């Protein structure tokens, strides 16, 4: 079936696409959605919209307004004045972003996460006898997090919602995070995040540094920050601020240096090797 590609990225269905049936609970909303899809190039006026719903459903406009509202739960339908005669028209612009279906975590993957990562909330430790556990994306999908084992963890309902609210409050920073996440090493991910925040004239919240560090095994983002400062020579200043009893920690990047050609990991390893050599030499001297 041919599809129209929108700049929003998600292609719109053809008016006849049977998948539209599954979006809405009612046959009437489905018909309304098809009507708006059909008339995208020639957006209907209020009068045409009402005439259509009257003809299709034989009902008053209370319902046609409700249909419109339901269509808007999945699609952006703009009401605007038409140039020329100034009539109000309803133009279906594309998929609504929030409605982009969150990718389903298969029962098999859920079972794997529970069995290997533990059947308890990874924030408060509560088990299934105390709370309702959900599988959560560690890095939200909207920031490029994938639906795969490494990026999933069990959380209780309460912490899952709390975390979502926290991330929603940081949504302006999504692009900065999406920029930092694909980098190879934790130093680069943290460093690139700090650079992106510096470009926005902001200090970086420690929670985001921990998030992009993504070291599930022997993670120590604070150590990586120290290495950025003392091994790679970046000027990073921590800030602590108490607000409503909670200490907010942010890191302000004052200046960065180019990444070493051998890579951050190799530079840090070399620094560690020299430090150990020096220590060994000192021990020898002391003997």
For residue 132, the minimal CB distance to Zn ion (Å) is: 10
Binding of Zn ion at residue 206 (CB under 5 A)? no
Binding of Zn ion at residue 163 (CB under 5 A)? no
Nearer to Zn ion, 106 or 130 (CB): 130
Chain position carrying tokens 């972003």: 97
Provide the 10 A C-beta neighbour count for residue 191: 25
DSSP three-state, residue 131: coil
How many chain residues bind Zn ion (CB under 5 A)? Answer: 5
User: Two tokens at 222?
Assistant: 């604070």
Sign of the C-alpha dihedral computed for residues 219, 223, 229 and 233 taken in this order: negative
- Residue by residue, DSSP assigns 180-207 as HTTSSSHHHHHHHHHHHHHHTT-PEEHH
Nearer to Zn ion, 56 or 126 (CB): 126
Q: Give the residues across from 99 on adjacent strands.
A: none
Binding of Zn ion at residue 132 (CB under 5 A)? no
Binding of Zn ion at residue 161 (CB under 5 A)? no
Binding of Zn ion at residue 159 (CB under 5 A)? yes
Helices 186-199 and 221-230: crossing angle in degrees, nearest 10, is 70
**Contact residue for Zn ion among 31, 76, 109, 123 (CB under 5 A):** 123
Binding of Zn ion at residue 121 (CB under 5 A)? yes
For residue 246, the minimal CB distance to Zn ion (Å) is: 17
For residue 120, the minimal CB distance to Zn ion (Å) is: 8
For residue 130, the minimal CB distance to Zn ion (Å) is: 9
Sign of the C-alpha dihedral computed for residues 200, 204, 209 and 210 taken in this order: negative
User: Where are the alpha helices (H) located in 58-185, listed in sequence order?
Assistant: 61-71, 107-117, 157-169, 174-180
Binding of Zn ion at residue 164 (CB under 5 A)? no
**Contact residue for Zn ion among 51, 111, 124, 257 (CB under 5 A):** 124
Q: Please report, as ranges, the residues that interact with Zn ion according to CB under 5 A.
A: 121, 123-124, 156, 159
């Amino acid at each position: 079936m041919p599809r129209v590609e929108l700049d929003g990225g998600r292609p719109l269905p053809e008016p006849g696409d049977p998948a539209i049936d599954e979006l809405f609970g009612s046959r009437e909303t489905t018909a309304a959605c098809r009507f708006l899809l059909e008339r995208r190039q020639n957006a209907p006026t209020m009068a045409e919209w009402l005439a259509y719903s009257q003809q299709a459903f034989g009902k008053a406009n209370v319902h046609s307004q409700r249909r419109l509202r339901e269509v808007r739960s999945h699609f952006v339908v703009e009401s605007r004045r038409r140039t020329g005669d100034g009539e109000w028209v309803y133009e279906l612009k594309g998929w609504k972003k929030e409605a982009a279906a969150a990718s389903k975590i298969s029962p098999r993957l859920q079972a794997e996460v529970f069995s290997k990562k533990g059947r308890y909330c990874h924030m408060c430790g509560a088990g299934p006898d105390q709370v309702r556990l959900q599988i959560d994306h560690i890095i939200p999908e909207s920031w490029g997090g994938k639906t795969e084992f490494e990026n999933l963890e069990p959380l209780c309902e309460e912490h899952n919602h709390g975390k979502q609210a926290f991330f929603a409050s940081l949504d302006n920073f999504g692009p900065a995070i999406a920029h930092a996440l694909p980098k190879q090493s934790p130093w680069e991910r943290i460093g690139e995040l700090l650079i992106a925040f510096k470009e926005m004239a902001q200090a970086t919240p420690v929670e985001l540094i921990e998030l992009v560090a993504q070291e599930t095994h022997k993670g120590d983002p604070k150590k990586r920050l120290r290495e950025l400062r003392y091994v790679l020579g970046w000027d990073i200043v921590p800030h602590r601020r108490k607000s409503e009893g909670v200490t907010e920690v942010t890191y302000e990047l004052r200046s960065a240096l180019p990444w070493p050609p051998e890579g951050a990991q190799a530079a840090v390893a070399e620094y560690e090797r020299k430090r150990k050599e020096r220590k060994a030499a000192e021990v020898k001297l002391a003997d």
